[in-house]
Structure 1
Amino acid sequence: MTDPAPRPTTDRRPAHAPKDHPALPPRRIGILIANLGTPDGYDYWSMRRYLSEFLSDRRVIDYSPWLWQPLLQAVILTSRPFRSGRNYKMIWNHEAGESPLMTITKAQAAKLAAAAEAEWGAEIMVDYAMRYGNPSTASKVKAMVAAGCDRILFFPLYPQYAGATVATANDAFFKALMEETWQPASRTVPPYFDSPLYIDALAASVDRAVSAMEQPPELLICSYHGLPERYLAQGDPYHCQCQKTTRLLRERLGWEKERVATTFQSRFGPEEWLKPYTVKEVARLAETGVRRIAVVAPAFAADCIETLEEINGEIRESFMHAGGESFTYIPCLNDDDAHIAALMAAIRDNLAGWVS
C-alpha cells in the first residue's frame, strides 16, 4: 500500500522564501512497519535472489564472508531454492500472486492506517516494508520523504528482540536514512514481548483455539524461531524475552506450569542452536505418551513459511509419526483486531511529543 491517508492539497513554501522557491509537500509523520521479507515468486531465480540477500546478512550468518560466500553461492544456492520454492508453492496465495506474509502485512498496514487516520488525521502516513525482498526499506523511506514525512517511526514487527531480526531491520532503516539529503527525524519501536495488550491478544487466540477443540490439549508448545546458542553468550536478549513471553502467556491463561513449554525451531547450519528443538521435542513428547498438543508461535507477527509449512507441516508430521493423535496449530495474531490494538498502543507510546 502507498499513502493510504488523504493528502492535503496545498503544498507549502518556507517562510520568507522567494516566489520561485520549489514548493514542499505538506509536513507529515510516517509510520513504517517492517517484516522479515518474502520472495517475489517461488521459481528458482526469485528464490535464489531472496535467499542470497537473506543468507548474506552478517546479522543472520556471521561467518567470515571469505569462507561463507563461496559455500553459499556455489553450493547452498544451487539446490536450496528448489526445495524452498516447493515449500512456498504449497502455501502461496495464488489468487493474489504473493506469499501469505505479504498478504497479511498489507492487511496489518491497512488496519493500522485506518486506526491512525481516525486518531490523528491526514498528518500520519502508514506504509510497510520488507527487510529482504520487496518492497525494500530504502524504497519506502524514499517514498515517505518525497511525500513530506519529516519524522518517521520505524516499527520492526518482532515481539522479541534479536540481532538477526530487530537489529538488522533497524540497520536497513538507518542505511536508507544515509541516502537522504534532508534526513527526517527518526525513532524505532522497541520490542513488545511483555506488552499487556500483546499478551492478552495471544491468550485470547489460545482460548479461541482450545474452545473449538473436542478435547483440550495436554500441552501448549510455544515455538519460537531459533538462534545459535553463542548469540545468547554474546549478549543477545532473545532467549530471555522468549521465556518471559511464555511465562506471561501461561499466567494470563491461568494454566499450570507443566502444561506450557518453550521450544525453538528453524535450525540452520552445523552449530548448536537454542534448545529444545521443536521438531525433536514434539516427537519426544509423543513417545512418552502425550497424545494431544497445541502449538503457538509468539515470535511471529504474521503467518509465514516458518509457521504454515514448518510448524503445520514438518513439526506436525514429527509429532504424529511418533504416536501423537491430535496436533493443533494456533495461527499467528496477523491482522486480528486485538493485535492491531496492541501495535497501535506501541505506536502511540513512541509518537509521544510528535502528535497530540
Structure 2
Amino acid sequence: MPDAQRPAHAPQTHPALPRQKIGVLLANLGTPDNYDYWSMRRYLNEFLSDRRVIDYAPWKWQPLLQTVILTKRPFSSGANYKLIWNHEAGESPLMTITKAQTAKIAQAVSQRFGDQVQVDFCMRYGNPATKAKVREMVAQGCSRILFFPLYPQYAGATTATANDAFFRALMAEKWQPASRTVPAYFDHPAYIDALAQSVERAYAALDQRPDLLVCSYHGMPERYLTEGDPYHCQCQKTTRLLKERLGWQSGDLATTFQSKFGPEEWLKPYTVEEVARLAKAGTKRIAVIAPAFSADCIETLEEINGEIRESFEHAGGESFTYIPCLNDDDAHVAALTQVIAENLQGWVG
C-alpha cells in the first residue's frame, strides 16, 4: 500500500498502517449479475430470504420460496430484466446509474474535503457486497465510515436491512472503524428541490400539461405501518412538500403504492389499479414520478413504464409521461453531497 507507514516509535516488526481516512459508503438495493436463470435465482434467494423483507417464519416461508417461487420467478424476472438491461455495459441500469452517481458524488466530496474522504458504493443484495466494501475501506485506512442507504424514506425492508448488513460487516473487523449511518432524507429541502426541478423540466417539455402527477412509491404490507414503520407517513410528507415547492394545489398530485407481492393487503391505493380508475373516470393525461427510488431500476423502467403505463392506456388514458428518477442529475448529486456534508460534521474540518 503506497501510503502505508510504520507508526513512529513502533518496533521494526510492527506492520505498516495506511494513512487514516474517512469513508463514505453509499448503499442501494442491489442487482443480479445477469438475467439468466441461475443469476436471477441467486439474487432473488438472497433478497426474498431477508426477514426484513419477508418476515414470515422460515419454517413456513422457506419451503414455499425454495420449491415454488424460486423455480418459476427467475424466468419471469429475468425476462423483465432483459428488457431493460444495459447490454453494452453488461449490467443492469441500477448498476450503471449507481456507478455514475458515485463518481459524481466522489468528485463533489473531493472538492469540499480533499483526499481525506473517499467515496464508494455497495449493494445490499448481490455485488459489490457490503461486507466486501467495508473490508476494502478498512484496509485502505478508513478509520471512520459514514454509511448512506440511498432511500429517501425510511423503511425496515430497505434502510434498516441495509444498516443491518453494514453492522454485520463491522462485526467481522478486528479493528472496527467508528461509524455513522445517514438517516432518511425524505424532507430535506435540497432533495425536494431536486424532485421539483425534475417535474418542472418534464412538464416544460410537454405540449399539454398532465391532468395529474402520480407520485408512485414502492409499497409494503399495511401491517408494517401498524407495527411502527414510518415509511407511509414519510411518503405522504414527501408528496406534500413537493406540492408546496411546486406551488400546486392538492388535486394536482396523488400518492400511490406499487410492487405488491404476496397475499397480504398492502398500502393503498395500488398504482396499477389507481391509474386505470383515473382513466375510466376521465383523467386522460397523467405523469408518474417515483420519489422513493434514487435510481431507475426494474420497478421504474419495467413496472411503471411498462405494466402501469399499459394499465392506464388500456383503461382509456391518452397520455402517460414517466418522469425518470433523479439518478445522477446534478441537482440530485448536489443534494446527496449536502446530506453527506451535514452527516460528516465533527469528523471533517
Give the structure-2-normalised TM-score: 0.99
- Map 1:93-108 → 2, pairs under 5 A: 93-108=86-101
- SS of 2:210's equivalent in the other structure is coil
Residue of structure 1 in register with 2:219 after alignment: 226
CA-to-aligned-CA distance 1:152-190 (integer Å, 9 cap, x gap): 000000000000000000000000000000000000000
Q: Distance in 1 between matches of 2:156 and 2:179?
A: 20
Q: Distance in 2 between matches of 1:254 and 1:118?
A: 34
- SS of 1:223's equivalent in the other structure is strand
Residue of structure 1 in register with 2:32 after alignment: 39
Residue of structure 2 in register with 1:142 after alignment: 135
Aligned AA for 2:329? D
- SS of 2:160's equivalent in the other structure is helix
* Offset, 1:121: 1.2
- State whether structure 2 residue 328 is matched by structure 1 residue 331: no
Q: Distance in 2 between matches of 1:72 and 1:225?
A: 22
Residue of structure 1 in register with 2:107 after alignment: 114
Q: Distance in 2 between matches of 1:13 and 1:288?
A: 73
Correspondent of 1:154 among 147, 154, 165:
147
CA-to-aligned-CA distance 1:254-273 (integer Å, 9 cap, x gap): 11101100000000000000
- Map 1:28-107 → 2, pairs under 5 A: 28-107=21-100
- Map 1:251-330 → 2, pairs under 5 A: 251-330=244-323
Q: Distance in 2 between matches of 1:206 and 1:146?
A: 42
* Offset, 1:14: 2.7
Q: Distance in 2 between matches of 1:242 and 1:274?
A: 11
- SS of 1:222's equivalent in the other structure is strand
Aligned AA for 1:314? E
Percent identity, aligned pairs only, is 76
Aligned AA for 1:193? F
* Offset, 1:124: 1.1
Residue of structure 1 in register with 2:195 after alignment: 202
* Offset, 1:106: 0.3
Q: Distance in 1 between matches of 2:191 and 2:45?
A: 33
Aligned AA for 2:159? V
- SS of 1:83's equivalent in the other structure is helix
- SS of 1:32's equivalent in the other structure is strand
Q: Distance in 1 between matches of 2:139 and 2:279?
A: 56
Q: Distance in 1 between matches of 2:225 and 2:112?
A: 40
Aligned AA for 1:301? S
Residue of structure 2 in register with 1:349 after alignment: 342
Q: Distance in 2 between matches of 1:329 and 1:254?
A: 21
**Structure 1 residue ranges (4+ consecutive) displaced by more than 4 angstroms after TM superposition:** none
Moved more, 18-27 or 312-321: 18-27
Aligned AA for 2:107? A
Q: Distance in 1 between matches of 2:15 and 2:121?
A: 29
* Offset, 1:12: 2.6
- State whether structure 2 residue 201 is matched by structure 1 residue 212: no
- SS of 2:88's equivalent in the other structure is coil
Aligned AA for 2:55? D
- State whether structure 2 residue 9 is matched by structure 1 residue 16: yes
- State whether structure 2 residue 185 is matched by structure 1 residue 181: no
Q: Distance in 1 between matches of 2:73 and 2:3?
A: 51
Give the structure-1-normalised TM-score: 0.97
- State whether structure 2 residue 236 is matched by structure 1 residue 243: yes
Q: Distance in 1 between matches of 2:6 and 2:176?
A: 18
Q: Distance in 2 between matches of 1:97 and 1:331?
A: 21
Residue of structure 1 in register with 2:123 after alignment: 130
Contiguous gaps of at least 5 residues in structure 1: 1-6
CA-to-aligned-CA distance 1:174-225 (integer Å, 9 cap, x gap): 0000000000000000000000000000000000000111100000000000
- SS of 2:251's equivalent in the other structure is helix
CA-to-aligned-CA distance 1:265-310 (integer Å, 9 cap, x gap): 0000000000000000000000000000000000000000000000
Moved more, 108-117 or 230-239: 108-117
- SS of 1:334's equivalent in the other structure is coil
Q: Distance in 1 between matches of 2:98 and 2:114?
A: 22
- SS of 1:273's equivalent in the other structure is coil
* Offset, 1:324: 0.1
* Offset, 1:21: 1.1
Residue of structure 2 in register with 1:4 after alignment: none
Q: Distance in 1 between matches of 2:5 and 2:156?
A: 40
